[in-house]
Structure 1
Amino acid sequence: MKSWLWCFILLLANHGAQSLNLSCRTTTSCGGNSSDIRFPFTIRGRSSGYQGFPGFDLSCAGRNQTLLHLPNSVNLTLLSIDYESQLVHVKSPDECIARQLRDLDFASSPLKLEGSLPTHTLFECPKLSHITSSLSWVTCLGSTVFALNSGSPLNDVNLVSCTKMYDLQIPFPSKEDQSLRLSWANPRCSRCYKSKEECCALKQGPSLNAEVECSGDATRKRASPLKKGLIAGAVLGSVFIVVLLFVLYRAYRYDRREKEYRHKIEKFLDDYNALKPTRFSYADIKRITSKFGVELGRGAYGTVFKGKLSSEIQVAVKVLTSSSIDNGEDFVNEVGTMARIHHVNVVRLIGFCADGFRRALVYEYLPNDSLQKYISDGKNQTSSLGWKTLQDISLGIAKGIEYLHQGCEQRILHFDIKPHNVLLDQNFNPKISDFGLAKLCAKDQSAISMSTARGTIGYIAPEVFSRNFGNVSYKADVYSFGMLLLEMVGGRKNIDVATTAADGGGEQIYFPEWIYSLFGESREDVRFDLEEAEEEDGKIARKLAIVGLWCIQWNPVDRPPMKLVVQMLEGQGDDLKPPPNPVSSNPGGGVFRMASMVKSKPVQELEIIPEIE
């Protein structure tokens, strides 16, 4: 056993001594005027006499070109290498560095960008009316694409018709200079090349911190017999210590790896349980709600109670009535739908109870109740929130609906967007709730099949009533959101149409038509009852009204998708134009106007809509 160990040590010592005989080969290149390739760079497929470092891979292309390979399959043309300064000058092969920059990930590369890293945002603006000196056009991505520095002012830039493409945290190149300069810190070979010597690796391996030595240093070491003996003894002792440390390290590593595996499994199970709703028993529900001690509200489908999962976590528990769970369709629909949703503007389903004939849903608790609380019977209590808060609430709702339509694997149609189903947290951030009527469909599906109309009177899109207005699609939620916006602006429920004609004749006016009538003849101003409001509040009211009127156009094709609605709400609103009157432009508007003002007729009694074949 001892003889075997000594043979092994001598073998390692001989290998270690040979490793000191540094192999520094002559330079190579791809031919022509291409740069000389030296350590740490290496050309794929060529024997260079040394092992290159990871992240310094090159290859030869046509016309004597050299390509530098970076993470995420990004390939750049090599212009030159400054080994003394440890700099690489590269450009994009297609003369469009902006396209390559999008995929670059310098976190996993030893090469870094030289200089500061400002952020640029790329916009596509087919209808940009004018430009300023702060805009840099990126013609290689299209004639309508420009890059805007994050520090540049936006006062003179009209971005309403623009679409954000992506952000680039790099120094953006000019039209004349489509190149970049990259630097590397390790391995540190600048000392060798400044001394006109070659740089060689003492220790090969994947680490970028491996030791390097100049070829002149290696020559001087070989010239000293004393140093040779010292090195040989050091190598033998080092090898023995390395073997001992290796055995100890393997034992330590094995124990640590086992602990890490157990920790990862436990963390995965915790994360998995956090992503899916928890199933509670009815006894748990009684304990959570303290035997249904605090009632928060009561509706047609159940009663909501306040509860606690712990001393710090409060919840809202909706106990469904027996009439609403006869077939269990709404309950299964809501649990199945909300298990897919994770968004800041959608209420989070924490758990559910399905214990015999008892059904309950456990949600996060939102202390400021629903938006309905702030829209009441013409008293205009929405003004108590402030128009800036109303704008933030409308934008949050729009982002939540956009997520349902585009952010999930399948498109989720809510079909019951209304103030009562918009809850507000302690900071008045809106969260969409109540997915009992929701329906799933593919993102590329232009129309969906429905056997019955669903929703709440006053918010139901016309095509949900009758196919004469078009097929049912995600535009139904856009219509409901538009009616909600008009309620926020008008400060009253749209089904409580108590507004009379301006001539005092006592004729009732359809609520959206009343909103539309507030705009002046020029359609540029809007006359809301904002006696004490500031000019900025009037702009917000005008913007919300215009967006709402666009959303309730009778033809679903004329309604904007929620992505465009979000952009309209995020903009200043100065360039928004009121749409055509959604009532007068519809030949059947009178019929639907009457249906919108009906309060007592339940939605289940509406005419059946045939399935799409």
Structure 2
Amino acid sequence: MMPSPTPSLFLFFFLCFAHGTAHRDEPPRHGCHHGPRVRFPFWLPDGPDSEPGYPGFELICDGDGRLALSVPNIPNPLVVKSIDYKSQSVVLRDPSNCLPLGIANLTLRGFFAREDPSRSAGPYNYNYNYNYTLFRCPLPERNSYDMTELACRSDPSSYKVYAVDSSESVGNVPLVHCERIIGSLDSLPNPIKGMITEARFDWKQPDCKKCTKGLCGWHGSSIACDQPHPGLPEKLHREIAGIIVGSFLFLVGLTGLGYVLNEKRRDKAFQLKIESFLHDYEALKPTRYSYNDIKRITNDFEEKLGQGAYGTVYKGKLSNEIFVAVKMLDNSFGNGEEFINEVSTMGRIHHVNVVRMVGFCADGFRRALVYEFLPNESLEKFIFQGDDNPDPFLSWDRLHNIALGVGKGIEYLHQGCDQRILHFDIKPHNILLDDHFIPKIADFGLAKLCSKEQSAVSMTAARGTMGYIAPEVFSRNFGSVSSKSDVYSFGMLLLEMVGGRKNVDVNAKNMSQMYFPQWVYNHLNKGEELEIRIREDGDHKIAKKLAIIGLWCIHWYPADRPPVKAVVQMLEGEECPVMPKNPFVSSGSGDAATMKGSLWNTNLEVIEE
């Protein structure tokens, strides 16, 4: 596989490109720890690598490391919040929140009105047109009008100072108990509400707006536009940037090409794996169809029967009398393993209670499995009744026959084949019914093969459907994974057939009914009848029989469960089996099943997966 560039390599090229751009457009930064970039006309006399700026634009670093402008008659320096060199403006902030008062003092001295750089008074200019008069009002005078309080001049315990627009008529302002203060705030650059703490000022001199391609500089007594400094010629900068961007795009393209080639190599390996498997299983003689055959059989996938975890099932027709179900597998799942698993398993099976595989398709990357068509679909449709599932309820005799057929099918998988087949996904959805309601076990995508002499397997990961997976599949603390895992799933299926509902019901009326198996055990253990669908007198006996067998099958520990052969014998027997001990507690507790190690064979030899 072609290695892809690491993220650090991409970051290196990005930083190189960014550095080249910044190096061309921006001068070196001179400033404090906090504050905007400082360049001409501003300057820091005591800053590192300081260069002379324009007279009157000297900045300082205050005690908190902020960029600031020290001006006469204001106790604290004004903090420089931002500088816009393009529009030639600066925003100043007063940490003491008394900026209007400071500006008034400076305005009286003419500091912000000077434009002549030969004078040392100052460089800033603004069109001043906001004038205010100050009033001191006793507490608890309320500000019921558009008056702005100057907190820095107010005394919280006795009075407040307000600024009122000087153009406002006195009769319109509630100042009956207030006293006018000598002095006013004249020619402020902004409305006072917007500048209690900060204000924006423009400067006209020096005029650096004409320096569009270079940097503005101060040369003794005149302004000049310099070339970018320091750096290389602009043409060379563009060439370097082009090389960096080109190299970056080349690496991206190379990485993408490597990814595509690797995916093709991986898909080819999967295809070879499938072809090798099909060659090994030629003796099974299942019919192999091309993709065009599959399209013809399904009439271009006209009728969809259902959607599963591993693919979509369509109805097909081999002849006017023979219908099939075609399962198109999803190539994104399992890397072909599910396909190999099912074909290898189904090729060994010939039993009335196991669905028959008619053929398969392995045409390029398209894979499909062709089964006999069962018109009554799955058992799930008939046992879970509801508004969205109006199919009629099957009789208890028919349910008993279906349960017996499924049990015989599982017994055949465990004992009747050359190798033991563990299904690992027994559930109502995978029990299909033909036109005579004979059950057939389907969907062997999760099945595993092992020797008939070895009953337990080791697994690297849990497999199955939640609600039907045996505890030992999740945790080996319960025991070894074996054929008893299918017995557990079959027990959960029996209890769902009895209750006509999912075993875990979050919509149950009370907590005791949320987990149906526990509810069933509690009722039967107390000798109570099950409150389920009963139509005839004999139905109670069948329902109770299926429920008790189901409880035997779902013990937490595999050793406490009967083998499937014993389950079939209980289903065939006339009498109702005895009640098991509580299947939901540890075998070591006083309430555990007593059959462990005595009634059922527990010698399970673990084999590798």
- TM-score for the superposition, normalised by structure 2: 0.49
Larger radius of gyration: 2
